[in-house]
Amino acid sequence: MLAKINNFEIDLSKPIDISIPLTNTDENPIAWYIEKPVIEPVVFGDWIGKVSEGKSSTNFNNIFFNPHGHGTHTECLGHITNDFYSINQSLKQFFFFAKLITIEPEKIGDDFVITKESISTSLNVTVLENASPEALIIRTLPNQKDKKSRKYSNTNPPYLSEEAAIFIRESEIQHLLIDLPSVDKEHDEGKLLAHKAFWNIKDTVNLNSDARLNATITEMIYVPNEIEDGNYILNLQIASFENDASPSKPILYKI
């Protein structure tokens, strides 16, 4: 089924899902020192909310998870501000012209860093005429399938340099998607330089008037190797949580 979005024609019957599903198994990715998600039936006395147990006509599960540590999620600047901001209020449009790029982080000391130079080089590849990307999707190398189940805690994953985040902001990218657990260094003494640079936050307590209230960061995606770099339409789907972050399902469509 063909549709026209932002003046681009796409085939809605051919979605490319770049999210990682949330499960209660050891296959679930984990970051930030927490345990795997819990998905279990409600129990009232001898009643169990699970059809296969023979005591319920419905499956009726509770789910306990953390959006930041358990899979693909989209966050707003409320993730790092003193005052409350909700992703459900910040993200009001859901289709964007997007560019997918692949970057090999650079070894700097003991870290692997996504630099401004690597992003600027990739973004200089020709985009469609009269169209600037609203969303940037970063796939990092190496791109093994175990990203979908990796345990990131205390592994010092690659991250985005502050200069790279500033460059992305100044390129007027509103939505940044990356296949890492954070745009920032795992142990950074709470500096959060890339988060602050992307959202243009100068003070997390007294928020500056030019902070980017409607910009979002999506982390822990997975883009298979067979998906080519280039231009796409992004459908960024979230659950309606009044929270700084929500589990999300970014979908790409070829143009």
Q: Is residue 34 part of a domain?
A: no
Least confident range of 129-133, 209-213, 236-240: 129-133
Q: Is residue 31 part of a domain?
A: no
Domain of residue 240: give its range: 2-22+67-254
Q: Is residue 76 part of a domain?
A: yes
The CATH number covering residue 13 comes to 3.50.30.50
Helical (H) or strand (E) element with 120? helix 116-123
Lookup result for tokens 């929500």: 246
Ramachandran category for residue 39: left, alpha or beta (phi over 0 → left; psi -120 to 50 → alpha)? beta
Q: Is residue 200 part of a domain?
A: yes
* pLDDT tens digit sequence for 30-66: 999 999 999 999 999 999 999 999 889 999 999 999 9
Q: Is residue 56 part of a domain?
A: no
Total number of domains in the chain = 1
Q: Is residue 213 part of a domain?
A: yes
Ramachandran category for residue 156: left, alpha or beta (phi over 0 → left; psi -120 to 50 → alpha)? left
* pLDDT tens digit sequence for 168-206: 999 999 999 999 999 999 999 999 999 999 999 999 999
